[in-house]
């Protein structure tokens, strides 16, 4: 697979490049799917879906595959992984996805990039957990859709580590030197575009379900589902290094407002360590300052 070694001139150029490359997934996911193939008579769709949902890139691959092979008579979008598995059938699903390129193979020559991408995947998983829990509190009509949207919230950051590791390292180095530097500013400086700008272009280019696209679009924050996904992504980013980021109180205030729960209840649901929770209980925060995250 090719790599991007210098910034491209347009979002269309990035979209074209990434559309011609095979999206890599975690090696662990591939190995587990191969094991499932050996015991597929005892595997159910929920088990397969749970594995896929632990890997943002496999989740993306599945949704892209479903859209690319959409049947003429299919008049509704497939927006959750369990539905995708049910539609394909377990055996065809395992055959299709158990032999795909891996992230570890793609960036084997860039060990620092592998560390970076695993951190972003961890962040995406955390965002998905937060969003799922909050969707349950909100009695959302389809919790799985919100979970998938949050899991994909870091898709472009992951792709950048996989296909432009040197440039992505530059972005993170700029932020290490200047902790006040927003992600979007550093990304535009290196890539000419922010990850969010590129992500919205890519998900449209790949024809992902409009429902999922809308939940990743911070311009639609008036929608509680969009706010759920965006706040989950923001809190996951801000807590990546612990619970002392100065942006966290604003995040918490916005989440309390969204869910109509107390700070104490929220901190309990988040399993915040006692020492940090004590400080955050008294930290206040401005809900209008929480978004957009960058």
pLDDT band at residue 219 using 50, 70 and 90 as cut-offs: confident
User: At residue 113, does pLDDT exceed 90?
Assistant: yes
CATH of 107-289 among 3.30.365.10, 1.10.3470.10, 2.60.40.10, 1.10.3210.10: 1.10.3210.10
What percent of the chain has a predicted confidence (pLDDT) above 70?
97
pLDDT band at residue 73 using 50, 70 and 90 as cut-offs: low
The reported pLDDT for the residue numbered 211 is 83
Mean of per-residue pLDDT scores for the chain: 92
DSSP string, 96-147: HHSS--BHHHHTTT-HHHHHHHHHHHHHHHHHHHHHHHHHHHTT-S-HHHHH
pLDDT band at residue 2 using 50, 70 and 90 as cut-offs: confident
User: At residue 34, does pLDDT exceed 60?
Assistant: yes
Question: Which residue ranges make up each domain of the chain?
Answer: 25-100, 107-289
The reported pLDDT for the residue numbered 100 is 95
Are 134 and 232 a contacting pair, CB within 8 Å? yes
Angle, CA of 25, 31 and 36, to the nearest 5°: 115
Taking CA atoms, 285 is separated from 250, 280, 281, in Å, by: 4, 9, 10
Range 211-239 average pLDDT: 89
Are 251 and 231 a contacting pair, CB within 8 Å? yes
Taking CA atoms, 214 is separated from 150, 227, 252, 261, in Å, by: 11, 11, 23, 25
User: At residue 22, does pLDDT exceed 90?
Assistant: yes
Q: Which residue has the higher pLDDT, 207 or 107?
A: 107
69-73, 77-81, 161-165, 284-288, range with the lowest pLDDT = 69-73
DSSP string, 276-290: HHHHHHT----GGGS
The per-residue pLDDT for range 170-189, each reduced to its tens digit, is 999 998 899 788 889 999 99
The reported pLDDT for the residue numbered 262 is 96
pTM of the full predicted structure?
A: 0.92
Q: Can you state the percent helix, strand and coil of the chain, rounding each to 5?
A: 70, 0, 30
The reported pLDDT for the residue numbered 131 is 97
Are 203 and 213 a contacting pair, CB within 8 Å? yes
The per-residue pLDDT for range 120-154, each reduced to its tens digit, is 999 999 999 999 999 999 999 999 999 999 999 99
Output the CA torsion sign for 126, 129, 134, 137. Answer: negative
26-40, 62-76, 119-133, range with the lowest pLDDT = 62-76
User: At residue 218, does pLDDT exceed 80?
Assistant: no
The reported pLDDT for the residue numbered 71 is 62
Bond preceding residue 292 cis, omega within 30 of 0: yes
């Amino acid at each position: 697979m090719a790599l991007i070694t210098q910034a491209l001139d347009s979002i269309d150029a990035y979209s074209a490049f990434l559309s011609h490359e095979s999206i890599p997934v975690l090696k662990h996911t591939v190995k587990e799917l191969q094991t499932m193939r050996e015991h597929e008579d005892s595997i159910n769709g929920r088990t397969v879906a749970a594995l896929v949902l632990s890997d943002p890139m496999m989740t993306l691959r599945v949704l892209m595959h479903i859209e690319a092979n959409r049947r003429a008579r299919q008049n509704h979008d497939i927006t959750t992984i369990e539905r995708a598995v049910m539609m394909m059938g377990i055996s065809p699903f395992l055959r299709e996805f158990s032999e795909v390129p891996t992230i570890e193979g793609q960036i084997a020559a860039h060990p620092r990039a592998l560390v970076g991408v695993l951190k972003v995947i961890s962040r995406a998983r955390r965002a998905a957990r937060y969003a799922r829990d909050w969707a349950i509190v909100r009695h959302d009509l389809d919790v799985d859709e919100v979970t998938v949207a949050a899991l994909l919230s870091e898709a472009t950051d992951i792709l950048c580590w996989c296909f432009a590791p040197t440039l992505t390292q530059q972005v993170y180095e700029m932020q290490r030197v200047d902790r006040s530097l927003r992600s979007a500013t550093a990304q535009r400086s290196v890539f000419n575009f922010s990850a969010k700008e590129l992500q919205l272009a890519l998900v449209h280019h790949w024809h992902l379900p409009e429902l999922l696209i809308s939940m990743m679009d911070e311009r639609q924050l008036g929608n509680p589902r969009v706010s759920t996904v965006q706040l989950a992504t923001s809190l996951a980013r801000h807590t990546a290094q612990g619970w002392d980021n100065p942006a966290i109180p604003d995040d918490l205030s916005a989440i309390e407002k969204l869910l109509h729960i107390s700070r104490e209840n929220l901190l309990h649901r988040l399993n915040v360590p006692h020492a940090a929770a004590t400080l955050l209980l008294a930290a206040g925060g401005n809900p209008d300052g929480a978004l957009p995250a960058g």
